[in-house]
Amino acid sequence: MRKIFNIFSKALACVLSGILLCGCGASGSVLCQSMDTAMGTVVAQTIFCPDEESGEEASDAIIELLNQLERQELSWRLETSEVFAVNGAAGSGDGFLLSKEMTLVINECLRLSEESEGAFDVTLGSVTRLWNIDSWAAGGVTEGFVPPDRELLIKTLGDSGSSKLRLEPEVRGDNGETVQARIFLTEGMQLDLGAVGKGIALDLILDSLGSSEVNGAVVSVGGSVLTYGRKPNGAAWKVGIRDPLNPSENIGMLLLEGQWCVSTSGDYERYVEVDGVRYHHILDPATGMPADSGVRSVTILSKEGLLSDALSTACFVLGVEKGMALADRCGAEALFVTAEGETVMTEGMEEYYWSE
Ligand code: ADP
Ligand code: MG
């Protein structure tokens, strides 16, 4: 599904070109905006380019890259993906030889799992499937949802856990570093990279923008946003932070220059409500239940996509105190909105945060 708004095209140009030409004159930049669906979420792009053609080219390349990432690597549903193959080999003595790209991703995920004391865990696939999270409609209305049976949940949780996952180096580089590893999931364990997929996407988009003619861009893939380069008028990029208590409004925004990744995890987008109880999609690996750490949303600011996405999930599970410490250890900034509606952030985040 795709909608492109190019300000120099057709009728829109009549309405907008005046405004944009003012911005464009000095720098010769053209603004291309588009809205697509990819990786099961909305992808919004604002791209400043030397001309219309290069803008559309860059924007098409980004969508193709996201579709490819989903199809070839991350999807647990599509038989064509690497995660699907890894999951299919769970419990087998041979394991599965990961690609170089996936070796890097899984290594980093295991590191962050350890760093977060297990709050972030990509081996929760069997548990997230019990909750049937993928079927939950946006907005919290899902007919006939029943929370998983307690005993089954505990058993399934017992089959999961990054500490039980084995990664054996198979190809090493000149300096002894692991280039490719073989992964061994135990019986009943399944990978779910849902908590880092959009962040990985941002890292790839960044690479593709680097070799394009794009001068500046803001690309949002669901709750993860990438800023890149400059606006023609030199102004900062504005990334809004939703109010989890009133998701149609922003509580404030981040004013950013150059390259940044901003990821938000919250309990307000994907959830179901049964008998007045809200079940959301970020699980506490200690219990297998939706995390209940007293926060409604966490926003992470970092230079790296995977890191920001993983940390937003981990910090949501950990809550304010432990989450702040984790962000700090990882060199990222964090902003929490608590259940009481209070906003708490790291000192470094204050530099970028603006609110009325
Ligand atoms: P979103 O996908 O809405 O951006 P997150 O990045 O926080 O939100 O990822 C949540 C997804 O990650 C869930 O839908 C589930 O598939 C998976 N998940 C849930 N809890 C955890 C966890 N503690 N660690 C790792 N992955 C998780
Ligand atoms: Mg995340």
| pLDDT 10s digits, 6-20 | 443 333 333 332 222
Q: What's residue 16's pLDDT?
A: 33
Q: What's residue 27's pLDDT?
A: 62
What is the rounded CA–CA span in Å between residue 3 and residue 155? 45
Residue nearest to atom 8 of ligand 1 (CA): 265
Tell me what the mean pLDDT of segment 151-170 comes to.
97
* pTM for the whole structure: 0.92
Does 344 score more than 90 pLDDT?
Answer: yes
Q: Which two tokens stand for residue 104?
A: 């890097």
What is the rounded CA–CA span in Å between residue 186 and residue 188? 6
Give the C-alpha distances (Å, rounded to integers) separating 351 from 77, 250, 333: 41, 18, 10
Please check whether residue 297 is in contact with residue 336, taking contact to mean a CB–CB distance below 8 angstroms. yes
Q: Rounded to the nearest whole angstrom, what is the distance from the C-alpha of residue 313 to the centroid of ligand 1?
A: 6
| Candidate from 7-21, 46-60, 105-119, 203-217 with smallest mean pLDDT | 7-21
For the CA of 198, the nearest atom of ligand 1: 4
Nearest to 240 by CA among 223, 221, 228: 223
Q: Which run of H or E residues covers position 153?
A: helix 150-159
DSSP secondary structure of 115-128? HTTTSS-TTBHHHH
Pocket of ligand 1 (CB under 6 A): 120-122, 124, 128, 133, 192, 194-195, 198, 222-223, 265, 269-270, 281-283, 285, 309, 312-313, 317
What is the rounded CA–CA span in Å between residue 31 and residue 353? 26
Please check whether residue 60 is in contact with residue 67, taking contact to mean a CB–CB distance below 8 angstroms. no
Could you tell me the sign of the dihedral formed by the alpha carbons of 39, 223, 270, 345, in that order? positive
Residue with more model confidence, 269 or 81: 81
Nearest to 157 by CA among 133, 126, 183, 178: 126
- Residues flanking ion ligand 2, Cβ below 5 Å: 195, 265, 309, 312-313
Characterize the bridge pairing of strands 283-284 and 277-280.
Answer: unpaired
Q: Quick: pLDDT tens for 194-249.
A: 999 999 999 999 999 999 999 999 999 999 999 999 999 999 999 999 999 999 99
Predicted confidence band of residue 145 (pLDDT cuts 50, 70, 90): confident
Helix axis angle, 197-210 relative to 52-68, nearest 10°?
Answer: 140
From the CA of 307, the nearest ligand is 2
Q: Rounded to the nearest whole angstrom, what is the distance from the C-alpha of residue 122 to the centroid of ligand 2?
A: 11
Q: What does the DSSP 8-state code read for residue 223?
A: T
DSSP secondary structure of 84-143? HHHHHTTT-TT-EE--HHHHHHHHHHHHHHHHTTTSS-TTBHHHHHHHTGGGPPBTS--T
Does 22 score more than 60 pLDDT?
Answer: no
Q: What is the identity of the amino acid at 121?
A: D
